[in-house]
Amino acid sequence: MTKQLIDGYDGVLADLDGVVYTGPRAIDGATEALERLGKEGKRLAYVTNNASRSSEQVAAHLRELGAPATAEQVFSSALAGAELLAGQVAEGSAVLVVGSDSLADAVRAQGLVVYRSAHHQPDAVIDAVIQGFSPELGWYDLAEAAYAVAAGAVWVATNTDMSLPQERGFAPGNGTFVAAVAAATSKTPSVAGKPGPALFGTAARHSGLVRPLVVGDRLDTDILGGNRANMDTALVLTGVDSVHSALAAHVDQRPDFLIGSLAELYQEYPTIRPDGVSYSCGEAVATATVTTVTVSGREDHLDSWRAACAAWWAMHPEVTPSAAPEVSFTVALSFTAAG
State the pLDDT at residue 122.
Answer: 60
Is the CB of residue 158 less than 8 Å from the CB of residue 187?
no
What are the pLDDT digits (tens) for 176-216? Answer: 999 999 999 999 999 889 998 888 988 998 899 999 999 99
Rg of the chain over all Cα atoms, to the nearest angstrom = 22
Helix (H, G, I), strand (E, B) or coil at 154: strand
Which of 10, 17, 101, 141 is flagged as catalytic?
A: 17
Reference 255, options 298, 305, 327, 206; nearest CA is 305
Which of 10, 15, 161, 241 is flagged as catalytic?
A: 15
State the pLDDT at residue 80.
Answer: 85
What is the model's pTM?
0.82
Is the CB of residue 77 less than 8 Å from the CB of residue 134?
no
161 as an active site residue: the answer is no
Is the CB of residue 125 less than 8 Å from the CB of residue 134?
no
What are the pLDDT digits (tens) for 81-108? Answer: 998 899 999 999 999 999 999 899 999 9
Give residue 309's identity as a one-letter amino acid code: C
Question: How many angstroms separate the CA atoms of 187 and 125, rounded?
Answer: 19
State the pLDDT at residue 85.
Answer: 94
The HSE-up count of residue 130 (CA atoms within 13 Å, CB side) is 37
State the pLDDT at residue 169.
Answer: 87
The rounded mean pLDDT for the chain is 92
State the pLDDT at residue 206.
Answer: 87
Phi, psi (deg, nearest 5) at residue 163: -135, 160
Question: How many angstroms separate the CA atoms of 217 and 294, rounded?
Answer: 26
Q: Which residues of the chain have pLDDT under 70?
A: 1-2, 118-123, 332-339
15 as an active site residue: the answer is yes
What are the pLDDT digits (tens) for 225-237? Answer: 999 999 999 999 9
